[in-house]
Amino acid sequence: MPLRRDQDGAGGDLKAVFRFYEELNDFLPPERRRQEFSATCARAATTKHMIEALGVPHTEVELILVNGVSVGFDRLLCEGDRVAVYPRFEAFDVTPLLRVRAAPLRVTRFVADAHLGGLAHLLRMAGFDTLYRNDYDDPELADISIREERILLTRDRELLKLRGITHGCYVHTLKPELQFREIVERLDLRRSIKPFSLCLECNRPLRPIDKAEVLDRLPPAVRLKHEQFTTCDVCERIYWQGSHWQRMQSLLNDVMHPGVGEGRT
């Protein structure tokens, strides 16, 4: 591979100017956020290498412009390059500009790491196919994400840097309800929500079932109060619109219709 030359004509490290946009700034130290900054790049460094060296997982990136031209992760950096790095775009389709992957990240199937069980539960509640086990190790999570084209959800930045992973989201917040809101907003999922269509335990589809078929399996109070039921044909759990359902419905309404009711006295 031929050496590139610095401005003085000698071999060695080179300088490039970087600017990260929107939520990508959360991965940077405060002094580098929302502004251009110069960084030293190793000879033959690629855009992917430098973006991750600066702390941003490549799975968070949707578009890279070098000197105003869309490039891929394998673009070698040159002295004086100006690099603009963007996250996923929700307001418009950037497919014609993409070089980092074949299509925008709009796959709505997930696999969640061991620390995101609460989030996985809420995503299933909203109808999103979400694999979760608390004993998945990192190689297994990466393999599932790559093989099944699932978005990998994690709070481990290093996991998202593993080779081969293209669909992934770093989850910033800590509480499951906030994590759920974050993912719905970041991936623009509101129109794809199909509430209570998947089993919360095994992630399989639910179907309506007649009360008479499950009558002997219902608690006495449920027999008296409820008439509509769904069931999972895999784990055979039965669901009805009890207090837990009402709490989840309230969360879904709030997420699907943000701002409704605000400002009322």
Tens place of pLDDT per residue across the chain (265 aa): 333 333 333 456 899 999 999 889 999 999 999 999 999 999 889 999 999 999 999 999 989 999 999 999 999 999 999 999 998 765 445 455 555 555 554 558 999 999 999 999 999 999 999 999 999 999 999 999 999 989 999 999 999 988 888 888 999 999 999 999 999 988 888 888 999 999 999 999 999 999 999 999 999 999 999 999 999 999 999 999 999 899 999 999 999 887 655 443 3
Q: How far apart are CA 95 and CA 121, in angstroms?
A: 31
What is the C-alpha R_g of the chain?
A: 23
Give the β-pairing of 110-112 and 82-86: unpaired
Element (H, E) at 152: strand 151-154
* Sequence letter at residue 216: D
Is the Cα dihedral 84, 88, 91, 92 positive or negative?
Answer: positive
What Å distances lie between residue 61 and 2, 111, 162, 230, CA to CA?
Answer: 28, 19, 14, 40
Q: Quick check: 135 and 115 in contact, CB under 8 A?
A: no
**Which amino acid would we find at residue 215?**
L
Cα 259 from chain centre: 23
In the sheet with 151-154, reading across from the earlier edge strand, the strands are: 130-132, 110-112, 151-154, 168-170
Q: Quote the pLDDT of residue 260.
A: 59
Question: What superfamily in CATH does domain 14-97 come from?
Answer: Beta-grasp domain (3.10.20.30)
For the chain, give every domain's residue range: 14-97, 110-192, 206-255
Q: Would you state the structure tokens that stand for residue 34, as one six-digit string?
A: 């929302």
Q: What is the pLDDT of residues 101-159, one digit of tens each?
A: 555 545 589 999 999 999 999 999 999 999 999 999 999 999 999 999 899 999 999 99
Give the count of beta carbons closer than 10 Å to the beta carbon of residue 201: 12
Look at residue 199 in the predicted model and tell me its pLDDT: 97
Residue 181: what pLDDT? 94
**Which DSSP helix (H) or strand (E) runs through 256?**
helix 243-256
DSSP state, residue 198: B
Q: Are 65 and 83 in contact (CB under 8 A)?
A: yes
Alpha carbon of 12 to those of 2, 44, 152, 196: distances in Å?
12, 10, 37, 58
Determine the pLDDT at residue 191.
84
Task: Quote the pLDDT of residue 263.
Answer: 43
What integer pLDDT is reported at residue 4 of this predicted model?
39
